[in-house]
Structure 1
Amino acid sequence: MAEKYVLTLDIGTTTIRSFIYNSKAETVGSAVDQVVLHYPSPGFVEIDPDELWNSIKQIVANSLKDANLTAAQISAMGISTLRSTFITWSRETGKPFHRFITWKDLRADKLVNQWNESYTWKTTLRLSWALQNIEPLREAVKKDDVMFGTLDTWLLHKLTGGKIHVTDVSSASATGFFDPFCMQWGGWALGLFKIPRGVLPEVVDTAGEHFGSTTPDIWGKPIPIRSCMADQTASMWGSCCFDVGDVKLTMGTGTFFNINTGSVPHANVSGLYPIVGWRLGSELVYSAEGSNNDTASIIKWAQNLGLFDNPQDSAEIAESVPDSDGVYFIPAFSGLGAPYNDGSAASGFVGMKPSTTKAHLVRAVLESLAFRIAQLYNCVRAENSYEFNIIRVDGGVSNNDFIAQLVADLTGLRVERPLHTEMSSLGCAHVVGLQLGIWKSKEELKSLRKVECVFNPRPQVKKAYEVTCSRWEDAVKRMCGWYIANRSSQSINTVSDSSSNSFTPQNSFKVNSKKKRNSKHSK
Structure 2
Amino acid sequence: MEEKYILTLDIGTTTIRSFIYNSRAEAVGKAIDQVILHYPQPGYVEIDPDELWSTVVAVVKKSLQDASLSAGQMSAMGISTQRSTFITWSRSTGKPFHRFITWKDMRADRLVRQWNDSYTWKLIKAGAYALYLVTRSKRFRAGSALKFMNSQTTLRLHWAIHNVPELKAAIEDGDAMFGTLDCWLLYKLSGNKIHMTDVSSASATGFFDPFTMQWASWAMTLFKIPAEALPTVVDTAGDHFISTSPAVWGHSIPIRSSMADQTASMWGSCCFEVGDVKLTMGTGTFFDINTGSHPHASVSGLYPVVGWQIGKELVYSAEGANSDTASIIKWAQNLGLFGDPEETAEIAQSVPDSDGVYFIPAFSGLGPPYNDGTAASGFVGMKPSTTRAHLVRAVLESLAFRTAQLYDCVRAETDFEFHSIRLDGGVSNNDFVAQLVADLTGLQVERPVNVEMSSLGCAHIVGLQLGIWKSKEELKSLRKIASILKPRREARQWYQAHIARWEDAARRMCGWYSHKPSLSDSESSQSSQNSFKVNSRKNGRVSK
> What TM-score results when the alignment is normalised by the length of structure 1?
0.92
Q: For 1:271 and 1:190, how far apart are their aligned partners in 2?
A: 22
* In the alignment, structure 1 residue 446 sits paired with structure 2 residue 472: no
For the 8 Å contact 1:247–1:258, the answer to whether it is kept is yes
Aligned to 1:113: 113
Classify the secondary structure of the residue corresponding to 1:115. helix
2:229 corresponding residue in structure 1 = 199
User: Could you give the per-residue CA deviations for residues 387-407 of structure 1, whole angstroms, max 9, x where no partner exists?
Assistant: 100000100000000000000
Partner of 2:396: 366
Instruction: Tell me the equivalent position of 1:126.
Output: 156
Match of 1:421 in 2: 451
Tell me whether 1:267 sits opposite 2:314 in the alignment: no
Secondary structure of 2:300's counterpart equals coil
CA distance change for structure 1 residues 298 and 92 in 2, over 3 Å: closer, same or farther?
Answer: same
Instruction: Give 1:157's aligned residue.
Output: 187
State how far apart, in whole Å, the 1-side matches of 2:180 and 2:190 are. 16
Quote the Cα distance in structure 1 between the aligned partners of 2:475 and 2:364: 36
Question: Structure 2 regions of 5+ residues with no counterpart?
Answer: 117-146, 518-544
Q: Is the 8 A contact 2:446 2:485 kept in 1?
A: yes
TM superposition shift of 1:90: 0.3
Could you tell me how far apart the structure 2 residues matched to 1:114 and 1:377 are?
30
Q: Distance in 2 between matches of 1:155 and 1:230?
A: 13
Question: Which structure is larger by alpha-carbon Rg, 1 or 2?
Answer: 2
The answer on whether the counterparts of 1:242 and 1:260 sit within 8 Å (CA) in structure 2 is yes
Q: Note the C-alpha offset of 1:188.
A: 1.1
Question: Residue 73 in 1 paired to residue 73 in 2?
Answer: yes
Partner of 1:82: 82
Alignment of 1:435-514 (within 5 A): 435-485=465-515
Paired residue for 1:281, among 301, 305, 311? Answer: 311
Within a 5 Å distance, the mapping from 1:205-220 to structure 2 comes to 205-220=235-250
Structure 1 Cα separation of the partners of residues 481 and 354 of structure 2? 31
Structure 2 residue 399 is the aligned partner of structure 1 residue 376: no
- C-alpha distance in 2 between matches for 1:486 and 1:119: 19
Q: CA deviation at 1:207?
A: 0.3
Counterpart of 1:36 in structure 2 is: 36
**Residue 111 of structure 1: how far off its partner (Å):** 1.4
Aligned-residue offset at 1:114: 2.3
The residue type equivalent to 1:188 in the other structure is W
Q: Which residue of 2 aligns with 1:511?
A: none
Counterpart in 1 of 2:5?
Answer: 5
Helix, strand or coil for the counterpart of 2:153? helix
Amino acid of the structure 2 residue aligned with 1:248: K
Q: CA deviation at 1:486?
A: 6.4
Q: Which residue of 2 aligns with 1:236?
A: 266
Amino acid paired to 1:454? I
Displacement, 1:273? Answer: 1.1
Q: Distance in 2 between matches of 1:331 and 1:189?
A: 31
Q: CA shift at 1:461, angstroms?
A: 0.3
Task: Tell me the alpha carbon deviations over residues 157-178 of structure 1, each in whole angstroms, 9 at most, x when there is no partner.
Answer: 0000000000000000001111
**Paired AA for residue 60 in structure 2:** V
**2:18 & 2:78 partners in 1: Cα distance?**
10
Could you say which residue in structure 2 is the equivalent of 1:50?
A: 50
Supply the distance in 2 between the matched residues of 1:135 and 1:86 (Cα, whole angstroms).
Answer: 17
Provide the residue aligned with 1:176 in structure 2: 206
Q: Distance in 1 between matches of 2:242 and 2:449?
A: 32
Alpha-carbon deviation of 1:115?
2.6
Question: Does structure 2 conserve the Cα–Cα contact (< 8 Å) formed by 1:174 and 1:275?
Answer: yes
Q: By how many angstroms is 1:269 displaced?
A: 1.2
Where do 5+ consecutive residues of structure 1 fail to align? 488-523
Q: Which amino acid aligns with 1:351?
A: G
Structure 2 match to 1:493: none
CA distance in 2, matches of 1:122, 1:217: 34
Q: Percent identity?
A: 75
Amino acid at match of 2:449: L
Specify the alignment match of 1:490 in structure 2: none
C-alpha contact 2:359 2:379 (8 A) present in aligned 1? yes
Cα distance in 2 for partners of 1:119, 1:141 equals 25
Deviations 1:307-328 (CA, angstroms, capped at 9, x unpaired): 1111011000000000000010
When residues 474 and 486 of structure 1 are mapped into structure 2, their CA distance, relative to the original with a 3 A threshold, is: same
Shift of 1:122: 2.9
Q: Distance in 2 between matches of 1:129 and 1:302?
A: 32
**Partners of 2:103 and 2:151 within 8 A in 1:** no
Provide Cα deviations, 1:434-471, integer angstroms capped at 9, x if missing partner: 00000000000000000001100000000000111100
CA contact (8 A) 1:112 1:122 kept: no
Q: Where in structure 2 are the equivalents of 1:296-307 lying within 5 Å?
A: 296-307=326-337
Q: Which amino acid aligns with 1:241?
A: C
Q: Distance in 1 between matches of 2:154 and 2:304?
A: 16
Separation of aligned partners in 2, 1:109 and 1:212:
38
Give a deviation string over 1:30-73, Cα, whole Å, max 9, x none. 00000011111111110000000000000000000000000011
The answer to which of 275-284 and 478-487 deviates more is: 478-487
In 2, the alpha carbon distance for the partners of 1:284 and 1:91 equals: 31
CA distance in 2, matches of 1:181, 1:485: 36
Task: Verify the 8 A CA contact 2:45 2:104 in the aligned structure 1.
Answer: yes
Letter in 1 for 2:189: L
CA distance in 2, matches of 1:26, 1:269: 42
Which amino acid in structure 2 is aligned with residue 132 of structure 1?
H
Give the C-alpha shift of residue 484 in structure 1.
Answer: 1.6
Mapped to 2, the partners of 1:283 and 1:122 lie a distance apart of: 26
CA drift of 1:118 comes to: 2.0
What is the distance in 2 between the residues matched to 1:118 and 1:409?
33
Distance 2:341 2:242 in 1: 41
Question: Offset of 1:16 from its aligned partner?
Answer: 0.2
Q: Which residue of structure 2 lines up, in the alignment, with residue 499 of structure 1?
A: none
- For residues 348 and 127 of structure 1, what CA distance do their matches in structure 2 show? 30
Q: Distance in 1 between matches of 2:407 and 2:295?
A: 18
Whichever residue aligns with residue 462 of structure 2, its letter is V
The count of residues paired between Structure 1 and Structure 2 equals 487
1:320 to 339, 350, 356: 350
Cα deviation, residue 478, structure 1: 1.1
**Deviations, residues 338-387 of structure 1 (Å, cap 9, x unaligned):** 11111111111111111111100000000000000000000000110001
Are 1:63 and 2:63 counterparts? yes
* Residue identity opposite 2:104 in structure 1: K
Q: Could you tell me which residue of structure 2 aligns to residue 504 of structure 1?
A: none
Cα distance in 1, alignment partners of residues 148 and 515 from structure 2: 20
Q: Give the RMSD, CA atoms, in angstroms.
A: 1.0
Query: Helix, strand or coil: the match of 1:77?
Result: strand
Per the alignment, residue 98 of structure 2 pairs with: 98
Structure 2 partner of 1:311: 341
1:287-340 per-residue CA deviation (whole Å, 9 max, x = no partner) reads 000000000000011111111111011000000000000010010111111111
Cα pair 2:424 2:448 within 8 Å, conserved:
yes
Distance in 2 (CA, whole Å) between partners of 1:102 and 1:232 is: 16
